Amino acid sequence: MPYPRRILALLAAALLLSPGLAAASPGIVTQHGLLRVEGNKLVGADGQAVSLAGVSFGWSQWEAAPYYNAKVVNWLQEDWKAGLVRAALGLDPTGYLGHPAREKARVCAVVDAAIAADLYVLIDWHDHHANEHTALAVAFFQEMARKYGHRANVMYEIFNEPIKGLTWARDVKPYAETVIAAIRAIDPDNLIIVGTPNWSQDVDVAAADPIKAENIAYTLHFYAGTHKQELRDKAVVAMNKGLPLFVTEWGTCDASGAGPVDVESTRVWMEFMRQWQLSHCNWAIYDKAETAAIIVPGATAQGGWTAKELTASGRLAREWVRNWAKYSAAR
């Protein structure tokens, strides 16, 4: 029966040629576009505040390594309803310092998958001593800016957590200014996120002496078991001075990644982030036997995790991420 078969072939071709027909619904990046800073908020192309929830991959060179793939990214989108993911390029002799091509390939696999899935993605220079690796960071972020700077999906996070003892004025700010200038020479507009002193907690110090550049946000990290009202007070001081914050990493447990899951403190922090319309990523996707890992040792690297393959922290984080759009819209 040649005639109906030809009709079917034409229909199939029309569907393949029309992504609008084939795609289910527009993804979050199509919806909000390139994010930019306005006052202390992150806004989308329409000028409305955007608050994203997502998940961070663990250090790229260790237990998280097998999970740096498209199947995991797609699962986070499908099952966790994540709006963003974070690829954590591990700066360490066992990581990018010793194996640059391997580690960069892992990060790019996640970035490429996030772009294909229409998700936001943080390219995180996961380093406690980035100020000692300035030339390396400049070269890496220039390469990323050339490769991805035209994509609204991508955000550059240039210094995960400056270790305690590094100062804003002497160590962190000069490093950030150098890396920002290098990125901006190639990519004029994608968001750049700057780490803050004392493991990205002293946002008040950065707020007293902010960087003079466009589209810059600042990192706030919290671990619910360790950090409580005192850290939220610091964040409020910074935000009231106009500093835009981004929680690129948060944990349900204590700051070492261990200790019990603190359900109530996590809830208080979520309410705080809802109130201030902050974006955030849970730490993290890796299968080490410690509280902060979202999956149990040996969990499949293909995504599709059952409740049994998630840890207690993973199950709690999933609930918050999965329900974030609804929760954060209710104000």
Closest distance of CB 119 from Mg ion, Å: 17
Preceding peptide of 114 cis, ω within 30°: no
Q: Angle, nearest 10°, between helix axes 263-275 and 229-240?
A: 10
Distance CA 9, CA 63 (A): 47
| Closer to Mg ion by Cβ: residue 186 or 268 | 186
The DSSP bridge partners found for residue 250 are 222, 282
Q: Does position 115 bind Mg ion by CB under 5 A?
A: no
Of 249, 264, 290, 309, the active-site residue reads 249
Supply the Cα-derived Rg of the chain in whole angstroms: 20
Written as six digits, the tokens of 96 are 């990018």
Closest distance of CB 103 from Mg ion, Å: 24
Closest distance of CB 154 from Mg ion, Å: 8
Tell how many helices (H) and how many strands (E) occur in the chain.
Answer: 13, 10
| Closer to Mg ion by Cβ: residue 187 or 254 | 187
Residues 188 to 247: which contact Mg ion by CB under 5 A?
Answer: 189-190
The answer to whether residue 271 is catalytic is no
The answer to whether residue 132 is catalytic is no
Q: Does position 187 bind Mg ion by CB under 5 A?
A: yes
Q: Does position 311 bind Mg ion by CB under 5 A?
A: no
Site string for Mg ion, 136-175 (x = CB under 5 A): -------------x--------------------------
Closest distance of CB 46 from Mg ion, Å: 18
Distance CA 121, CA 287 (A): 21
Q: Give the contacts of 141 (CB within 8 A, at least 6 positions apart).
A: 123, 125, 156, 158, 179, 182, 183
Of 63, 103, 157, 161, the active-site residue reads 161
| Closer to Mg ion by Cβ: residue 190 or 313 | 190
Written as six digits, the tokens of 91 are 């700066």
Residues that bind Mg ion (CB under 5 A): 149, 187, 189-190
